[in-house]
Amino acid sequence: MSYVTKSPWIIHYDGSSCNGCDIEVLACLTPMYDVERFGIINTGNPKHADVFLVTGSVNEQNKGVVQQIYEQMPEPKVVVAIGICACSGGVFRDCYNVMGGIDTVIPVDCYVPGCAARPEAIIDAVVKGLGVLAEKRAAMEAKEDKAELAAETEGKQDE
């Protein structure tokens, strides 16, 4: 069994959200929903995070920031796009500076539509994301095993 599903640490980034979805993300941490019950912590540090929550659409200015946060997160990692803005650009889609949903710059694993997305839906998406996280971890393990096996056979050939 993989422990990534038991302690998903979160980093939250506000693309160009109207703050509606941000408030809902924070609501998940309050006593009402208390996601720490599932070991979820809001870290604020990409190097410690497993789940990347993005609210709002990506624009020309923060495109680099979103990419950088994503790249700094160690594997396995999952991206959850929260709110219709993050999914497709929403009402801001046609703005001259908006590129569209988060998936125009980084791969997204879960989409939470809604304006604003409800805390229940956000928690649901993170739980879905945990499934993806476990899959990615399993893939990582398989890759590591393969690399080890390859190294071993190579060693034998040298002998």
Partner 1 sequence: MLTAIISVIAYLILAPLIGGFLAGVDRIITARMQGRFGPPVLQPFYDVLKLREKENITVNRVQDFYVICFFIFVVVTGGFFFAGGSLLLVIFTLTLASVFLIVAAFSSGSAYAQVGAERELLQMMAYEPMVLLTAVGFYAYTGSFRVDDIMQGSNMSLIPLVGIFAGYIFILTIKFRKSPFDLSMSHHAHQELVAGLKTEFSGRTLALIEVAHWYENIFLLGIVFLFFVNGTILMTVIGIVVCLLAYFLEIFIDNSFARMKWQVALNSAWIAALVLGGINLFIIMIG
Give the span between the Cα atoms of 141 and 155, in whole angstroms: 21
Q: Which two tokens stand for residue 86?
A: 């993050």
Nearest distance in Å: CB 2, partner 1: 6
Q: Which of 91, 87, 90, 92 is nearest to 110 (CA)?
A: 87
Among residues 10, 85, 122, 126, the one that binds ligand SF4 under rule CB under 6 A: 85
Given candidates 2, 9, 20, 43, which one binds ligand SF4 under the rule CB under 6 A?
A: 20
The interface with ligand SF4 within residues 106-145 (CB under 6 A) comprises 115-116
2: left (phi over 0), alpha (psi -120 to 50) or beta: beta
Judged by beta carbon distances under 5 to 8 A according to partner kind, the member of ligand SF4, partner 1, none in contact with residue 20 is ligand SF4
Asked if residue 56 binds ligand SF4 (CB under 6 A), the reply is: yes
Question: Would you count residue 2 as binding partner 1 (CB under 8 A)?
Answer: yes
According to the binding rule CB under 8 A, does residue 3 interact with partner 1?
Answer: yes
How far is residue 78's CA from residue 159's CA, in Å, rounded to a whole number?
Answer: 42
